[in-house]
Amino acid sequence: MSSCNGVLACALLRDIFGNPFRPVSFSTAWRTSLTVSHARRIYEAYDFGLMPILADALQDAGCDNTDVLDHCRSEGPHVRGCWVVDLVLGKE
């Protein structure tokens, strides 16, 4: 495996599992109809361009967790199974 493929593999694992050394406490209060709607659209349509919009909706719902918000606003890569999308959808 080339180093480029290794870097991509690590980035994909971080998108799916997050940082195992910094587990995130996700408040169910952040799971509003709007955040769930955005997460469902992202999940079903593979439209990860909506991740920053999900971050805004989570912030509006009271989320102040920088790991969650920064992940949503990062350039990714993002894939189906993204830990934030799964948390919002209750797929923990």
pTM listed for this prediction: 0.86
Q: Which two tokens stand for residue 56?
A: 């805004």
Q: Over range 24-32, report the average pLDDT.
A: 93
Give CA–CA dist 67/24, Å, rounded: 7
Residue 92: pLDDT band (50, 70, 90) is low
Q: What 3-state DSSP class applies to 82?
A: coil
The one-letter amino acid code at 6 reads G
Q: Over range 6-30, report the average pLDDT.
A: 80
The residue extents of the domains of the chain are 3-89
